[in-house]
Amino acid sequence: MTHDHIELSLEQSLDHCIKCNICTAACPVSAVTDLFPGPKYVGPQGQRFRMPGQPSPDESVDYCSGCRVCNEVCPTGVRVMELNTRAKAAIVEQNGLPLRAWLLGYQYWFGKLACGPLAPLANFGASNPLLRTVVERTVKIGRKAPLPKFSTYSFRSWFKQRTKSQASKTAAVPDGSQSTAPGSRKQVVYFHGCSTNYYEPHVGQAAVEVLERNGFEVIVAKQGCCGLPLLSNGAFKQARSHHEYNVEQLLPYAQRGIPIIGTSTSCTLTIKEEASELLGMHETAVRMVAENTYDIFEFLRLLHDRGELNTDFKPVQRSMPYHAPCQLRAHNLGRPALDILELVPGLQLSESTAACCGLAGTYGYKAEKYQIAMDVGAGLFDFVRASGSDTAVCDSEICRWQIAHGSGLEVKHPIEILREAYG
Amino acid sequence: MRTIDTDVLVIGGGATGVGVLRDLALRGIRAALVEKGDLTHGTTGRYHGLLHSGGRYVVKDKQSASECAVENEILRRIMPHCLEDTGGFFVVTPADDEAYVPLFLKGCQETGVSVHEIAVREALRREPLLNPRISRAFEVRDGSADSFLATHSNAEDAVRHGAQVLTYHVVTGLERTGDRVTGAVCEDMRSGETVHIHTSYIVNAAGAWAGKIAELAGVKVTVVPGKGTMVAMNHRVLNTVVNRCKPPADGDIIVPIHTVAVIGTTDVHVPDPDVFGIEAWEVERMLSEGEQLVPGISKARVLRAWAGVRPLYKDQDVADDRDIPRTYKLLDHEARDGVKGMISMVGGKWTTYRMMAQEATDAVAAKLGIQAECRTHLEPLPIPAGAERKAGLYWLGKPLAAIEADSSYGHLICECELVTRERVVDAITSGKAANIDDIRRDTRLGMGPCQGGFCTYRAAALWHELKPATPPANDPPHGHAGNSVALLRHFLQERWKGLTVIAWGDQLRQARLDEIIYLDTLGLDLLPAPAPAEQNGAEMVTAHPAIATEYHAA
């Protein structure tokens, strides 16, 4: 087995642990439950007792939500979350993927089936307490967990329709081919992800409009699920094929230097590093796509740094609470949404200091973890409620659903606010 | 003064001594054992933990090879809970001469050491970090052994069969009546009390110290203390014992044992088994030779370095200490020196301890006119209470699986090695442990990456809580608190001495954190207790010159 430096640094990170317990002190999950003994215990400490080919000795690692707070606070650079997620994958490899993890990992199939004309029916089912109780009893998906509403139309269908109606423009057909007509206009590829496509097409619409306001031609490339729900459920083999597919679709754009931009912080993080690190995929193509992928506000901030951002904003006289999701913090970019939104006259955003909303991808959907997720998020819910605003702002869709569920506020993606500012 | 009467006195609480004690007890012979420290305090507790297949000796030391091959199978049967079946490889690295291979294979055949060649590809599949440039790989029945647990299991069975075990009893003299040894005078190092032991027979199983014991009887036994330095890596770099296929030399073996991988070992003659240090070149040699087996290993985190002294018996001139056979020798002092009532069992390996014990016990039984047959190869050893390992061979994840099974992770005293509060409390209240280092030998407390950083103060606090009612005999300054602080200091000192020669990289960072915890946060150097150096043979710690080792640089 050959090791490149990324893989090596993951392995060596076990050696860097000096047992200081800072990760455990900062862990939002172990703070609210005794069921999770903490990131150090299941991470570098447990790792010393794991051996390939032997039974997985621990089940408690399943209570790690994968929020990555441990990675952020570790003073010696231990990749605790990666160790934990790999340990979960070893359990899946040993025991197989449970039905629930399968359902959560492949949830985009529900989007595919229910988004569109069937959405009202599906939403009725998804919000029906009786049905939810049955689901909780059978597959242990929490009956109170905040399921998103299916949209009556998909983002892709909206975009296709719009492209057709704008036939005068030279927009590329979103078929993933390399045939985008060369022109003087700057191009970007938009990676919408499953949530925008099936649940929140308005986020994608806002993104497209903002990018166009800045003179970009937006290409919606062929794409699949980024694979994060599978990764966090330990289904590495399945996640690998998703990542391979996306890399294949996005590579031609990356090769031509066309930026790949996403509004879902978790999708972009997965493409940037999470998939490649967890799956040990460090091929040139994977890296090239990763290096060309940006969170939308990261991209807008780059534009601003170069003096190319359209700052023709109308005043927005509002003050709102903002939560930077774990997945965004893992990008190590600071708070690009705050940096850009503070350019909008009149807009006041107050940032939360909460570690995590608690939902952490599919974690909070699991019945036995629902209350843990709510307890983890409690501080954040209090913070947004105390703001007095009726709207909160957060970059990640899952976190938005959880904050809305926990606080009763409407929660928007910052790109929606920015679009508003463009008038 | 106390007096003890017994039929046989065994001197030395290592593998051999305790093995002899069990054998005597199983044969119904009244026996007692004295050990100047804790059980396994000497060489048994300081070796790399290899259960020999015998492969290492097949060319130059055929008798040892055969003995190991035979005993390996017996130990697997009688003490599975102390062994891990890691399997072993002998590999030919680019630095090794392939001409050794036919000698090796012929030797295996002659000595009954089971061996078969496997494809290099297969060896690399099983051990991905192994040097990909090895040209051949041979599989043998090596394993790893928990010598602490094995010794305790033997002792427990011996006690169950009526034997006595007296730890922290140092032999200060042997009594002779004419040409017969009739007893021993010991000092109980914890109380300072003198203990007379009257016995018909003495088995000198003091290992590297056997020469010193023989001297007390006026008999000359030349034991060459051969110091072997070992280096433990932070985690299991390999899961199979890997040997270089070449004549034994420094740093040619890596043994995965519990959570660590141990690179061994040097062989340096030292004048006194009580006084030796570890030198930088030895650590450097282990790591640079280790590179031949696992490229990059010298860059990985080293946990600790330590040394043990081999009890090599020298009965003829050999050029090099490494040429002294590893086989054992029974010295009948009556036939050899005209001194009755004592035999010495010298040399040997941990793997052959049971065979040595059998031979020694056969000799004693013959002297005493007792007919009973040896049964130690037939009857499995008991698992000491409190050891969470259940029946069956040990495997790496077993301790973690046990903690998970009852969710006792909230009660860990030593986090690195998963030692629960319950086990530490048992060790303290059972009265078997005289200090925290003794608890370590029972539980692995403090043996993980942080080397006592987070568990020492917890263990000392438990000790302080649990032992207030029994003030030590020679009342130390500051009473009970002073005692607890002395225990804490002693254990830290014991852990830190293993770090001094490997203080770089991640382990230096760790040591710095530990230093901050104990000196800056807890102000340990300001606490009211005498520093270990000023303690007058403190009853709980091993500053006593008779059992203090590695304190002085050579």
Closest Cα to residue B459, out of B518, B419, B505?
B419
Question: What is the distance of C-alpha A67 from the center of its chain?
Answer: 11
pLDDT classification of A6: cutoffs 50, 70, 90: low
CA A246 – CA A249 distance, rounded (Å): 5
The reply to whether residue B418 touches residue A49, judged by beta carbons under 8 angstroms, is yes
**Residue B539 scores a pLDDT above 70:** no
CA distance A177 to B258: 55
* DSSP 8-state symbol, B304: E
pLDDT band at B274 (very low <50, low <70, confident <90, very high): confident
Split at pLDDT 50, 70, 90, the class of B541 is very low
Question: B411 — contact with chain A (CB < 8 Å)?
Answer: no
Query: So what's the pLDDT on residue A1?
Result: 36
Shortest distance between the Cα of B510 and any Cα of chain A, in A, equals: 5
Cβ contacts (< 8 Å) between A47 and chain B: which residues?
235
- pLDDT, tens only, B93-137: 999 999 999 999 999 999 999 999 999 999 999 999 999 999 999
Nearest of A380, A374, A379, A378 to residue A392 by alpha carbon:
A380
Which tokens go with B501? 């020669």
Q: How far is B445 from chain A (nearest CA, A)?
A: 14
Average pLDDT over residues B437-460: 95
User: Whole-angstrom Cα distance, residue A264 to residue A401?
Assistant: 13
pLDDT score for B479: 67
* String of DSSP letters for A150-218: PPSS-HHHHHHHHHHHTTTS-PPPSSS-S-PPP-SSEEEEEE-HHHHHHT-HHHHHHHHHHHHHTTEEE
User: What's the pLDDT tens digit per position in B137-161?
Assistant: 999 999 999 999 999 999 999 999 9
Say if strands B260-264 and B223-233 run parallel, antiparallel, or are unpaired. Answer: antiparallel
Confidence of residue B390 (pLDDT cuts 50, 70, 90): low
Q: In this structure, what are the phi and psi dihedrals at residue B249, rounded to the nearest 5 degrees?
A: -150, 180
- Digit-coded pLDDT (tens) for B51-70: 999 999 999 999 999 999 99
The verdict on a CB contact (< 8 Å) between B259 and A1 is: no
Please indicate if any CB of chain B lies within 8 Å of the CB of A56.
yes
Rounded CA-CA distance B454/B456 in Å is 6
What are the Cα distances from residue A109, in Å, to A149, A150, A355, A360, B440? Answer: 14, 12, 31, 20, 54
Q: Give the number of C-alpha atoms closer than 13 A to the C-alpha of residue B472, restricted to the C-beta side.
A: 26
Confidence check: pLDDT of B551 > 70:
no
| Neighbouring residues of A209: CB distance < 8 A, sequence distance ≥ 6 | A419, A422
| pLDDT at A178 > cutoff 70 | no
**Nearest CB to B400; choose among A17, A58, A76:** A58
Locate the DSSP E strands across A238-318.
260-262, 293-295
Say whether A40 and B404 touch across the interface (CB within 8 A): no
Residue range A154-178: mean pLDDT, rounded: 70
The mean pLDDT value for A48-56 works out to: 91
- Checking if the pLDDT of B488 tops 80, the result is yes
Judged by CB atoms closer than 8 Å, whether chains meet at B396 and A54 is answered as: yes
Q: How confident is the model at residue A72 (pLDDT cuts 50, 70, 90)?
A: very high
Q: Which of the residue ranges B212-216, B271-275, B496-500 would you say has the lowest mean pLDDT?
A: B271-275
Cα separation, B438 vs B419, whole angstroms:
14
Nearest to B416 among A19, A51, A57 (CB): A19
Question: Averaged over B174-186, what is the pLDDT?
Answer: 95
Residue of A nearest to B261 (CA): A48
The pLDDT, as a whole number, for residue B373 is 96
Q: What is the largest CA-CA distance in chain B?
A: 67
How many contiguous H segments (helices) and E segments (strands) does chain B have?
15, 22
Beta-bridge partners for B420: B412
A53 burial type by CB count under 10 A (0-12 exposed, 13-18 middle, 19+ buried) = exposed
Please say if the pLDDT value at position B525 is more than 60.
Answer: yes
Query: Shortest Cα distance from A54 to chain B (angstroms)?
Result: 8
pLDDT > 60? residue A74:
yes
Give mean pLDDT, residues B320-340.
85
The DSSP line for B422-445 is HHHHHHHHTS--SSHHHHHHHH-T
**Out of A15, A52, A60, whose CB is closest to B409?**
A60
Residue A219 to residues A212, A298, A299, B92: CA-CA distances in angstroms?
11, 18, 15, 58
Strand partners, B89: B139, B242
The pLDDT score that the predictor gives to residue A8 is 63
Q: What confidence score (pLDDT) does residue B476 get?
A: 55
Instruction: Say if residue B422's pLDDT is above 60.
Output: yes
DSSP-based helix, strand, coil % in chain B, nearest 5: 40, 25, 40
For the segment A322-341, the average pLDDT, to the nearest whole number, is 95
Give residue B276's pLDDT band: very low, low, confident or very high (50, 70, 90).
Answer: confident
Contacts of B235 in chain A (CB under 8 A): 14-15, 47-48
The answer to whether residue B392 scores a pLDDT higher than 90 is no
Listed by number, the residues of chain B in 101-120 with a beta carbon closer than 8 Å to a beta carbon of chain A are none
Produce one character per residue of A172-183: b if its CB has 16 or more CB atoms within 10 Å, e if not: bebebeeebeee
Contact B59, B243 (CB under 8 A): no
| Residue of chain B minimizing CA distance to A43 | B416
ipTM: 0.91
| Of residues B300, B395, B412, nearest to A54 (C-beta) | B395
Residue in B with minimal Cα distance to A44: B416
Q: Mean pLDDT of all residues in chain B?
A: 90
Helix (H) or strand (E) holding B96: none
At residue A303's C-alpha, the angle toward residues A298 and A309, to 5°, is: 120
Least confident of A53-57, A177-181, B54-58, B429-433: A177-181
The whole-model pTM stands at 0.90
From the list A62, A89, A67, the residue with the least C-alpha distance to A80 is: A67
For the residues B272-294, what does the mean pLDDT come to?
92
Contact A58 B401 (CB under 8 A): yes
Q: How many helices (H) and strands (E) does chain A have?
A: 24, 8
Q: Which residues of A touch B409 (CB under 8 A)?
A: 37, 41, 60
Asked if pLDDT for residue A170 goes beyond 90, the answer is: no
pLDDT tens for B231-260 read 999 999 999 999 999 999 999 999 999 999
Mean pLDDT of the A341-369 span: 94
Q: What is the mean pLDDT of residues A25-39?
A: 96
The region of weakest confidence among A45-49, B15-19, B387-391, B392-396 is B387-391
Which amino acid, one-letter code, is at A203?
A: V
Range with lowest mean pLDDT among A8-22, A269-283, B102-116: A8-22
Check CB contact under 8 Å for A50 and B396.
yes
By the CB < 8 Å criterion, does A2 face chain B? Answer: no
Q: Which residue, chain included where needed, has tokens 């269908």?
A: A157
Name the DSSP letter for residue B240.
Answer: S
At residue B470 the predicted structure's pLDDT band, cuts being 50, 70 and 90, is: low
